[in-house]
């Protein structure tokens, strides 16, 4: 039975995972469009409509949290707690707007990942093992991402860098808001041992209550707790997950999401390139590869983009909309080439380490442009 726990403490050493979570997300979105709210308690509410005050709090900014206002409490209670604060703001949910803000922030973040997985509206995982190569480079990358997100959307986020998703999620929550926490593989188990078991994603109030009855309060207690006893109480699957998690072990992969929204291929150049001509052979191969992927899915594309990752780990991106949706390789290749030429010219002296080609704005290619493309007139 013990055979299901096969992982040693160093089995995660080869991965570098990042978890990004936007701070007080819905309330921060409201602050973006009304900067005068920043200094006031902001409470985003899900009004049920029965009476003026019925419903629950969706989230609140950190000013409001100081008064004990948080997700899930009744609006009536929130109003009570803020009764002496005359400038408190209560707002209804605007999900469409929050999705837009999320979309633009996610598209900035996703460019930094080898693999990118969006989880819900305000968080995502990045596998940056190859991109970063080391935990110190990963920390630098995390700072770049925070800056880039701020520059593009003005949002603050909190990031956890760790050898797996579970520790990344614990890390992003540790120093909120605007936090950055790095949990290195060697110190993972020690750094979580003193925390409450509920810090482990998936362990809610119910499970933690049962664990407490068994004398388990901290993650360290859980790591030491007898596995066979735990299997008796929680079943094999949950017990194995908790037993591993408590030791800082989690093998869940980062699963790419949104493959339909974009097709992207990235290649590491044999040596850093300073001119676009040096990159032409790689560019050609990348174009072939994304073209094939789109063709396999019978998708025509409206936007061609390139991504250059520099020796500084900075990203340079450029894209161009085609006049007509295309399924034509030549038009893709020529467009990508002209974007690359322009991008290198504009960027000034650069050293390009990795190059990417991206297609987006897809339509099913069974549509009306097929004939034009077939005749070589499309896109
Ligand atoms: N949300 C909600 N009801 C809840 C929890 C969350 O409507 N019970 C919504 C509002 C949040 C968003 O989901 O803004 C993201 O949830 P988080 O748990 O990440 O919380 P916040 O982003 O609000 O705050 P934090 O800064 O703690 O991440
Ligand atoms: Ca959040
Ligand atoms: Ca979240």
Active site residue 209: no
Averaged pLDDT, 155-175? 97
| CA-proximal residue: ligand 1, atom 27 (nearest) | 24
Q: Which ligand is closest to the CA of 177, given by its number?
A: 1
pLDDT recorded at residue 12: 44
Position 1 pLDDT exceeds 50: no
Lowest mean pLDDT among 12-21, 64-73, 185-194: 12-21
| CB of residue 65 inside a 6 A radius of ligand 1 | no
Residue 267, Cβ density class (10 Å: 0-12 exposed, 13-18 middle, ≥19 buried): middle
Question: Across residues 70-93, what is the average pLDDT?
Answer: 97
Dist. CA 22 → ligand 2 center (Å): 4
Which residue among 42, 56, 122, 204 is best mutated to probe the pocket of ligand 1, counting the most ligand atoms within 8 A of its Cβ? 122
Instruction: Report which protein residue has its CA nearest ligand 1's atom 7.
Output: 58
Q: What is the whole-number distance in angstroms between the Cα of residue 144 and the centre of ligand 3?
A: 20
Contact between 162 and 142 (Cβ < 8 Å): no
Res 378 pLDDT > 70: no
Cβ(30) – ligand 1 distance below 6 Å? no
Residue 28 has pLDDT above 60, yes or no: yes
Tokens representing 284 are 């050609």
Residue 193: exposure state from Cβ atoms within 10 A (0-12, 13-18, ≥19): middle
Q: Report the separation in Å between the CA atom of 118 and the middle of ligand 2, taken as the mean of its atom positions.
A: 13
- ∠ CA 154-354-181, rounded to 5°: 45
Does residue 122 have its Cβ closer than 6 Å to ligand 1? Answer: yes
Atom of ligand 1 nearest to the CA of 46: 7
Report the range of poorest mean pLDDT among 2-16, 159-173, 313-327. 2-16
Is pLDDT above 70 for 259? no
Per residue in 174-209, pLDDT (tens digit) is: 999 999 999 999 999 999 999 999 999 999 999 999
CA-based Rg of the chain, rounded to a whole angstrom?
24
- Span from the CA of 263 to the centroid of ligand 2 (angstroms): 28
pLDDT at 366: 58
Distance CA 23, CA 177 (A): 6
- For residue 272, pLDDT over 60 is answered with yes
Task: Give the model's pLDDT for residue 52.
Answer: 85
Q: Is the CB of 21 under 6 A from ligand 1?
A: yes
From 42, 70, 71, 181, mutation site for ligand 1 pocket: most ligand atoms within 8 A of C-beta: 71
Secondary structure of 36-80 in HEC code, one letter for each residue: HHCCCCEEEEEECCCCCCCEEEEEECHHHHCCCCCCCCEHHHHHH
pLDDT at residue 191 in the model: 95
pLDDT at 261 over 90: no
pTM of the model: 0.76
Q: Is 131 left (phi over 0), alpha (psi -120 to 50) or beta?
A: alpha
Q: Which residues pair with 115 in a beta bridge?
A: 127
- Residue with the smallest CA separation from ligand 1 atom 23 is 24
* Active-site residue (options: 30, 31, 123, 232): 123
Q: State if residue 94 touches ligand 1 by the CB under 6 angstroms criterion.
A: no
What pLDDT is attached to residue 135? 97
22 pocket-lining for ligand 1 (C-beta < 6 Å) = yes
Q: Measured in angstroms, how far is the CA atom of residue 16 from the centroid of ligand 1?
A: 25
- What pLDDT score was predicted for residue 50? 84
98 within ligand 1 shell (Cβ under 6 A):
no
Q: Which ligand is nearest to the CA of 29?
A: 1
Query: Which listed ligand is nearest to 169 at the C-alpha?
Result: 3
pLDDT band (50, 70, 90) for residue 108: very high
Q: For residue 5, is pLDDT > 50?
A: no
């Amino acid at each position: 039975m013990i055979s299901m726990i096969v992982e040693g403490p160093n089995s995660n050493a080869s991965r570098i995972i990042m978890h990004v979570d936007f701070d007080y997300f819905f309330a921060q979105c409201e602050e973006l469009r009304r900067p005068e709210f920043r200094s006031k308690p902001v409470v985003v509410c899900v009004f049920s409509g029965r009476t003026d005050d019925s419903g629950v709090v969706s989230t609140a900014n950190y000013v409001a949290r100081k008064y004990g206002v948080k997700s899930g409490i009744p609006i009536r209670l929130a109003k009570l707690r803020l009764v002496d604060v005359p400038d408190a703001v209560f707002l209804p949910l605007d999900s469409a707007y929050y999705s837009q803000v999320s979309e633009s922030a996610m598209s900035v973040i996703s460019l930094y990942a080898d693999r990118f997985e969006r989880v819900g509206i305000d968080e995502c995982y990045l596998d940056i093992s190859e991109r970063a190569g080391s935990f110190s480079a990963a920390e630098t990358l995390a700072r770049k991402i925070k800056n880039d997100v701020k520059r593009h959307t003005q949002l603050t986020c909190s990031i956890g860098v760790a050898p797996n998703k579970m520790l990344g999620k614990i890390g992003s929550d540790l120093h909120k808001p605007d936090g950055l926490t790095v949990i290195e593989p060697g110190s993972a188990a020690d750094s979580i041992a003193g925390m409450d078991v509920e810090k482990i994603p998936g362990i809610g109030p119910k499970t933690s209550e049962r664990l407490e009855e068994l004398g388990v309060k901290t993650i360290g207690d859980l790591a030491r707790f007898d596995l066979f006893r735990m299997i008796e109480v929680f079943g094999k699957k949950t017990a194995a997950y908790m037993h591993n998690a408590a030791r800082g072990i989690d093998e869940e992969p980062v699963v790419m999401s949104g493959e339909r929204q974009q097709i992207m291929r990235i290649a590491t150049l044999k040596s850093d390139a300073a001119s676009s001509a040096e990159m032409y052979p790689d560019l050609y191969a990348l174009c072939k590869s994304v073209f094939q992927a789109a063709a396999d899915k019978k998708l025509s594309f409206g936007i061609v983009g390139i991504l250059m990752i520099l020796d500084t780990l900075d990203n340079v991106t450029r894209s161009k909309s085609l006049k007509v949706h295309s399924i034509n390789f030549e038009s893709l290749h020529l467009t990508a080439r002209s974007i690359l030429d322009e991008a290198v010219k504009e960027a000034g002296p650069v050293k390009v380490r990795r190059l990417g080609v991206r297609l987006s704005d897809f339509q099913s290619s069974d549509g009306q442009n097929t004939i034009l493309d077939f005749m070589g007139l499309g896109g």
